[in-house]
A = this chain, B = another copy of it.
């Protein structure tokens, strides 16, 4: 049997009503065993599959959730997505993945598309450099459950799953200090983004707690690309008083830093120690493995998804909102372990 078939096609063929077919297919208890079997067999034979669009329209539930990330080719994000899928697939949800490429317009556009598609919820890592919350407000006004992960904004009524980025920055910096470093530079991400600001604040606090004066020449804001890491590191190395270590908020920037430092014929970690952030796989595989901070992405995804499930299955009038903060894990490797 070719083409798409509906319950009406089955009904017509069996000379019964569509309602009966529907009931049989849904294992409604008040249907005769004989009819049920007949319907199921015919459905298979006719290659029937349920039209979830119709079901969604009828029920007001699409069983789709939208996931919005800056980009999927970062191991961190693809791992979060894996966690989300592992939690949501068994519950019958389909996951629609969108990439914002850190572009505000694309973010807005994707959110509108997801709302139009009647998703049952949106899990997102928000760009969040802007003050405007137009897109977010649209979601909230439509009462669509919204959960932030990793990159969040503090908005009433929105749950979030993040790591303690302050602590991550603190641990990374403290580790460098413990290794004997005194002149610690920080290659930060966009400081208008909360996670990067938190990591930077952790860095500053660690300096303070260890009686090291913050040197503003040692702080450079840069985007998460290898090339930017090279450029920024060149600036650091050209200072009259260059740093003896670098804590980067991005593994890719850390990699760029390493490339640049090697060009200057300096030894890592003895001349300059490096710590990155995110535990991208390559940090482990490099000959000179990179010390970094792990963010438990799969777990983060699972938790974000389960928070969504809690919210969507919440029949009470009491709205559930959670702010979950996971601990970061410093992974010490060769790039910062002096011999």
Chain A interface (Cβ < 8 Å from any Cβ of B) = 1-4, 47, 49-54, 56-57, 62, 64, 71-73, 75, 78-79, 81-82, 85, 94-99, 112-113, 115-118, 138, 141-143, 226, 255, 259, 262, 281-282, 285-288
Find the B residue at minimum CB distance from A50: B116
Query: With A53-B56, A53-B117, A62-B53 in contact, is A3–B72 under 8 Å at CB?
Result: no
- By a CB distance below 8 angstroms, the chain B residues around A56 are 53
- By a CB distance below 8 angstroms, the chain B residues around A262 are 287
In the assembled complex, the CB of A94 is this many whole angstroms from the nearest CB of chain B, namely 5
Cβ contact within 8 Å between B115 and A49: yes
Cβ contact within 8 Å between A287 and B287: yes
- Bound: A64/B66 CA distance, A: 13
Query: Which listed residue, B3, B57, B138, B259, touches A143 by the CB 8 Å rule?
Result: B3
- By a CB distance below 8 angstroms, the chain B residues around A143 are 2-4
Cβ contact within 8 Å between B72 and A78: yes
Find the B residue at minimum CB distance from A85: B99
Cβ contact within 8 Å between B73 and A99: no
- By a CB distance below 8 angstroms, the chain B residues around A49 are 112, 115-116, 138, 142
A–B Cβ pairs within 8 angstroms, 12 of them:
A3-B142, A4-B143, A47-B138, A53-B118, A54-B57, A64-B117, A72-B73, A72-B81, A72-B97, A73-B79, A82-B99, A94-B117
Query: With A96-B94, A99-B85 in contact, is A52–B287 under 8 Å at CB?
Result: no
In the assembled complex, the CB of A47 is this many whole angstroms from the nearest CB of chain B, namely 5
- By a CB distance below 8 angstroms, the chain B residues around A4 are 142-143
Cβ contact within 8 Å between B285 and A287: no
- Bound: A112/B92 CA distance, A: 12
Cβ contact within 8 Å between B64 and A73: no
In the assembled complex, the CB of A84 is this many whole angstroms from the nearest CB of chain B, namely 11
Cβ contact within 8 Å between A118 and B52: yes
- By a CB distance below 8 angstroms, the chain B residues around A51 are 57, 116, 118
- By a CB distance below 8 angstroms, the chain B residues around A255 are 285
In the assembled complex, the CB of A82 is this many whole angstroms from the nearest CB of chain B, namely 7
- Bound: A286/B262 CA distance, A: 12
Cβ contact within 8 Å between A96 and B96: yes
Cβ contact within 8 Å between B47 and A141: yes
- By a CB distance below 8 angstroms, the chain B residues around A1 are 141
